[in-house]
Structure 1
Amino acid sequence: MNTIAIVILNYNGQPFLAKFLPTVLANTDGHTVYVADSASTDSSVSFVRTHFPTVRIIELPRNEGYAGGYNLALEHIRTNYGLPAYYVLPNSDIEVTPGWLSPVIRLMEANPNIAACQPKIRSYSEREFFEHAGAAGGFVDWLGYIFCRGRVFATFEKDQGQYDDNRPVFWATGACLFVRADVFHQVGGFDASFFAHMEEIDLCWRFQRLGYEVWTCGQSTVYHVGGGTLHKSNPHKTYLNYRNSLFMLYKNWPADVWLWPKILLRLVLDGISSILFMQLGEWADVGAILRAHFAFYGQLPTLHRQRKQLRTQQRASVKLYQYSIVWQYFLKGKKTFSEMEKG
C-alpha cells in the first residue's frame, strides 16, 4: 500500500501547474503525485502529459468544484490504485517547501486519532505574513463564523514563530489538507453540495463528531497564492461563502433548542453586511447574499435529513469557540487569535 497520495485538483489552471508542480515533484519524498483534472477547457492535461510524465492524470467527466471533484478523484485512486494511508491535497496555487511532508505525517503517525492536519499557510506575495485560507489552523465561533490563528477578518499577522507549535484546531484548510484516507471515506468524503468553500470545515466538524481530532503542524510551511479559481471579491464566491456557512451551521450545530435563534441572528448579521456592500457600491455581492439565503431555504429539507442522520452517528461532543468573533474583533478591539484565545 502506498503511504501517501498527493492529489492536485485542477480546472483551467495550466499557469499554476507550470509554476508550482515542479516544486511539488521536487519534494515528494518518493510518493506518487496525481493531477485530477475537472474537464478543463485549456491545455492542462496535454501540458502535464508532455512536461511531467511521472504524474498520474485523472480525467474527471465534469467540473464539480473542490468538494465533488476531490470525491471523484479520491474514489478513483482507492478503486484503481489501492487505498493509501494519507491523502495530501495541495491547491494548484500552492508552493511547497523542502521537508513540508514529513513533519505533518510524523505528527499523524504519532497520534492515530488525528483525521486531518495542515501546515502553516503563508502568503505567496507577502511571504512573511499568514494567508487568508487557513493561516495556522482554523476555528468556528458560536454563530458559525470562521477565523484562523494568524488571520482574523482583515487582520493578517506576520509569522514570527508565534504559531510554530503543533496543536488541535477546529478545522484544517482545504488549501493544503492532509487527511487520513480511511477516515475520509468512512465519513463519506466532502459534502458535494458545497461545491467550493467551507467544505473542509464541514468535513472537519464531522470528523470530530465521530471522536477524531484535527490538528495544525507548525513545523511545516507552504505558500498560497489565493484566489486562483475565484478572486476574493468575486460575487459567486460571496454567494458560496454565505450559503455554505448556513448549510454548515444547520447541519452540524449540536443543540436543537438554540438552532433557529442562531440561524435567525446569522441572517440578520448577513443583512447588515449587505448594507456594507451597498455602501461600497458592490451590488452584485448584495444580490449574492440574497441568492445565498434563498438557496439555504430551498435546501432545508435535505439539510434537515442530513442533520438527523449526523445526530444518530455522533459519538463525541464538539467544542466551538465560546465567544463571538464579531463582538471580540469589532467591539472589543481584539485583532489577533492570541488576544481572542484569552476570552
Structure 2
Amino acid sequence: MSHGQQTDSERKPQVTVVVVTYQSRNTIGATLDSLRESCDAGLAVVVVDNASNDGTADFVAAHAPWATLVRGQGNIGFGRGCNRGFDLVATPYVLLLNPDAVIAADALTRLLTFMEQNPQVGICGPAVQEPSGELQPTGALPDPWKIMLRPILPGWAERDMRHVVPGERPQATDWVCGSIMLLRWKMIEEIGRFDPRFFLYFEETDLCRRARRAGWEIWTVGEAVAEHVNAASAKATGAHMMWDTIAEHYFRSRFYYLIKHFGWPAAVTAELGELLLMTVRAAGERLRGRSYKSLGLRLRSPILKLPVFPD
C-alpha cells in the first residue's frame, strides 16, 4: 500500500451527525459550515427538517449538498426527529447537534478520541459556550424532591449542578445537555432510542437516566469546546426559557418524565408541592414588599398534564 493510502476501514465514517431543524433558516448555515471540514474527512451528516415553512430545507439542500436531507411532513418534535435521523446511522457514534450550535473539527476529534479510549462511556459532551460567555450546565438528574423544593431552596436543589469550563479535564456526570452530545451507537442499540412521547424537553434527560441505569457512564470533555446560541429569542426579550411560549412543552414533558421514572404519586406530589411552596414564597415576598412573578407565570402553564402530539 502506497504512502497515504487508506484502507476501507480507515475511510469508513466513524460519526454521523444528526441535526433536527425547525424554522432554522437563520442559524443552520453556520452549523453546516462548522461541519464541512469534518465532512470532507469522512463525517456523515443527516439533517431532519420538521416541515419548516421558512425555507430551511431548501437552504440545506442548496448550501450543503454533501449532507443527507430528510424532509418531514410535520413538526414531530426533537426526539422523534432524532429517531428519524437514527434510521440512517451506520457508524459507531452519532453526534446530536442543534441547528444553532457550532463545533469545529478538532473539538469533534477530541470527543471521538475520548470515547474510543473509554469504552464504558455511552455519552459525552463538550464545554458549550454561548456568545455572551455563559457556559452550559451539567450535573445531577432532576427528581421530585429537587423540583418541589426549588422555589424555597434553590441552592440545595441545584447544589449538584456546575458549568463545564473550557479546557478542564474530563469529568463524570449524570446529565449533559442535548444541544451537543456524542452517543455510542452500541448504547443506543442496548437502551433504545429517544422516547417518542417527549415532544420537546426532557428527552435527553430521560435518555441519560436510562443510560446510567443500564451501567453506561456519562462524561463531560472540557478540552472540546463548542458554541451554542441557547434560547436566543427568549434571551432577546429577557424572558426565561421556562416562561415563554415553550412552557407548554417544558412542563408537560417534565410531568411525563416524573411519572415515567418515579411514578404517578411522586409526580403529582412534586407538581402540587411546587405550587404550594411557590405560593408560600410569594406570600413571603409580598410581606417584604417584593413581587414574585414566577407564581402567576407557573399558574398559566400546564399543570398535571402530559405531552400532546399533533396529528
The answer for the alignment partner of 1:55 in structure 2 is 67
RMSD: 3.2
Distance verdict in 2 for CA 1:158–1:179, change over 3 Å: closer
Find the aligned partners of 2:246 and 2:174 in 1 and give their Cα distance.
Answer: 22
Q: Deviations over 1:72-96 (max 9, x none)?
A: 1212x04xxxx21011011011122
Find the aligned partners of 2:267 and 2:103 in 1 and give their Cα distance.
Answer: 39
Find the aligned partners of 2:105 and 2:145 in 1 and give their Cα distance.
Answer: 35
The answer for the alignment partner of 1:191 in structure 2 is 195
Find the aligned partners of 1:4 and 1:96 in 2 and give their Cα distance.
Answer: 13
Distance verdict in 2 for CA 1:157–1:192, change over 3 Å: closer
Distance verdict in 2 for CA 1:187–1:236, change over 3 Å: farther
Is 1:33 the counterpart of 2:49 in the alignment?
Answer: no
Aligned amino acid, residue 191 of structure 1: D
Structure 2 residue corresponding to 1:269, chosen from 269, 274, 287: 274
Q: Percent identity, aligned pairs only?
A: 21
State the 1:98 CA deviation.
Answer: 4.5
Structure 2 residue corresponding to 1:224, chosen from 225, 228, 245: 228
State the 1:186 CA deviation.
Answer: 2.9
User: Does structure 2 conserve the Cα–Cα contact (< 8 Å) formed by 1:39 and 1:60?
Assistant: yes
Is 1:22 the counterpart of 2:33 in the alignment?
Answer: yes
Is 1:88 the counterpart of 2:95 in the alignment?
Answer: yes
Find the aligned partners of 2:72 and 2:189 in 1 and give their Cα distance.
Answer: 19
The answer for the alignment partner of 1:140 in structure 2 is 141
Find the aligned partners of 2:18 and 2:231 in 1 and give their Cα distance.
Answer: 19
Q: Deviations over 1:275-329 (max 9, x none)?
A: 76x84288554221xx231338x9xxxxxxxxxxxxxxxxxxxxxxxxxxxxxxx
Structure 2 residue corresponding to 1:102, chosen from 90, 106, 109: 109
Distance verdict in 2 for CA 1:285–1:220, change over 3 Å: same
Is 1:115 the counterpart of 2:122 in the alignment?
Answer: yes
State the 1:229 CA deviation.
Answer: 7.8
User: Does structure 2 conserve the Cα–Cα contact (< 8 Å) formed by 1:235 and 1:285?
Assistant: no
The answer for the alignment partner of 1:237 in structure 2 is 246
The answer for the alignment partner of 1:292 in structure 2 is 303
The answer for the alignment partner of 2:210 in structure 1 is 206
The answer for the alignment partner of 2:5 in structure 1 is none
Q: Deviations over 1:129-165 (max 9, x none)?
A: 313xxx3x33125536489xxxx59x9969475xx12
Distance verdict in 2 for CA 1:262–1:60, change over 3 Å: closer
Structure 1 residue corresponding to 2:55, chosen from 19, 38, 43: 43
Structure 1 residue corresponding to 2:21, chosen from 4, 10, 23: 10
Per the normalisation by structure 2, the TM-score is 0.76
The answer for the alignment partner of 2:76 in structure 1 is 64
- Give the number of equivalent residue pairs: 273
Aligned amino acid, residue 221 of structure 1: V
Runs of at least 5 residues in structure 1 that lack an aligned partner in the other structure: 299-343
Aligned amino acid, residue 112 of structure 1: P
Q: Deviations over 1:248-268 (max 9, x none)?
A: 233224xx8xx8357514431
Find the aligned partners of 1:160 and 1:261 in 2 and give their Cα distance.
Answer: 37
User: Does structure 1 conserve the Cα–Cα contact (< 8 Å) formed by 2:13 and 2:42?
Assistant: no
Distance verdict in 2 for CA 1:67–1:142, change over 3 Å: closer
Aligned amino acid, residue 108 of structure 1: M
Find the aligned partners of 2:143 and 2:79 in 1 and give their Cα distance.
Answer: 25
Find the aligned partners of 2:146 and 2:99 in 1 and give their Cα distance.
Answer: 26
User: Does structure 1 conserve the Cα–Cα contact (< 8 Å) formed by 2:166 and 2:224?
Assistant: no
User: Does structure 1 conserve the Cα–Cα contact (< 8 Å) formed by 2:166 and 2:223?
Assistant: no
User: Does structure 1 conserve the Cα–Cα contact (< 8 Å) formed by 2:18 and 2:46?
Assistant: yes
Aligned amino acid, residue 214 of structure 1: I
Per the normalisation by structure 1, the TM-score is 0.70
Distance verdict in 2 for CA 1:27–1:2, change over 3 Å: closer
Structure 1 residue corresponding to 2:259, chosen from 239, 250, 256: 250
Look at both structures and tell me which one has the larger radius of gyration over its CA atoms.
2
User: Does structure 2 conserve the Cα–Cα contact (< 8 Å) formed by 1:11 and 1:39?
Assistant: yes
Runs of at least 5 residues in structure 2 that lack an aligned partner in the other structure: 1-11, 151-157, 236-240, 283-290
Find the aligned partners of 2:210 and 2:162 in 1 and give their Cα distance.
Answer: 28
